[in-house]
Amino acid sequence: MIAITGATGQLGRLVIEALLPKIPAAQIVAAVRSPEKAKNLAALGVQVRQADYAQPATLEAAFQGVEKVLLISSSEVGQRAAQHRAVIEAAAKAGVKLIAYTSILRADTSPLALAAEHKETEAALRASGLPFVLLRNGWYTENRTASIPVALQHGAVLGAAGEGRIASAARADYAAAAAAVLTREDQAGRVYELAGDTGYTLSELAAEIARQSGKTVAYQDLPEPAYKAALVQAGLPEGFAALLANSDAGTAKGALFDDSRQLSQLIGRPTTPLATTVAAALTA
């Protein structure tokens, strides 16, 4: 059996969708904090088990009989490392044979503040003695296209990335990669640096939004502190705004670009083009 943590999240649901054509639904465990939110997964024949990071006993119970676990990184920045350690410890106690972890692109050398908890988790995996595989995911294109409504409203894409290139891919591309790794043999010890086939600047993103929408949209590059202030003014918590602004500053230094094409090689097809994800966002 294969267990997916955070299975009701955006990536988790897509991973399960990608697994269903490959293995019987009964061999998939959706490990979720709130089982009542996973009724649609249960309807597909997937096993739904409670797995609360704050209740280690639920984690160990959720992993009983499970051979592989996909540890999808928590969305609770600042609490991730402790939560991930709880999953790793429970997996070890349950006799899990492989953990796949969704880390961040080049976690060991990344200048991004977001990489810190991923580094901690990778270290915890090494210390655990469990076989593991690292899926070092680059940026999700949806991270950028989510702000298209605001960009259209103000006629500008804001950022602090300069002309740094972003080799992002659609969330579904990363989900397909996770499903591929989970259903292959001899994955222990592998490290995948996963990113989109082609990169783009935020200027090019703005131009694509303008082209498809027929509206004037331009990229406005800001100093990192000014971009953080703009995000706070837009309603983001200060800590999260600081992380996003830091990520843009890292982008300017190449932190989100990779041209190894390991992602497309893993999934056996090209990654989703920027234009496709922009189009989906505009019609959502």
Q: What is the pLDDT of residues 53-75, one digit of tens each?
A: 888 889 999 999 999 999 999 98
The torsion angles phi and psi of 209, rounded to 5 degrees, stand at -60, -45
Rounded alpha-carbon distances, angstroms, from residue 191 to 102, 194, 197: 11, 9, 18
| Helix, strand or coil, per DSSP, at residue 141 | helix
Does the structure show a pLDDT above 90 at 133? yes
Q: Regarding predicted confidence, which is higher, 26 or 76?
A: 26
Does the structure show a pLDDT above 90 at 45? yes
12 Cβ contact list (under 8 Å, min separation 6)? 4, 5, 6, 30, 72
Q: What is the pLDDT of residues 250-284, one digit of tens each?
A: 999 999 999 999 999 999 999 999 999 999 999 98
Residue count of the chain: 284
* 7 neighbors 73 (Cβ within 8 angstroms): no
Q: How high does pLDDT run on average in the chain?
A: 96
Read off the tokens for 115. Answer: 């990489």
pLDDT band of residue 20 (cuts 50, 70, 90) is: very high
Q: For residues 160 and 86, what is the distance between their CA atoms, to the nearest angstrom?
A: 35
Query: 212-220: which pairs have CB atoms within 8 A and are 24 or more residues apart?
Result: 212/275, 212/278, 212/279, 212/282, 213/152, 213/282, 215/152, 215/155, 216/155, 217/151, 217/152, 217/155, 217/156, 217/157, 218/155, 218/156, 218/157, 219/156, 219/157, 219/159, 220/156, 220/157, 220/158, 220/159
- Report which residue type is found at 71: L
Terminal Cα distance for the chain, rounded: 35
Least confident piece of the model among 72-86, 165-179, 244-258: 72-86
CA neighbor of 177 nearest in space, from 165, 167, 188, 169 = 169
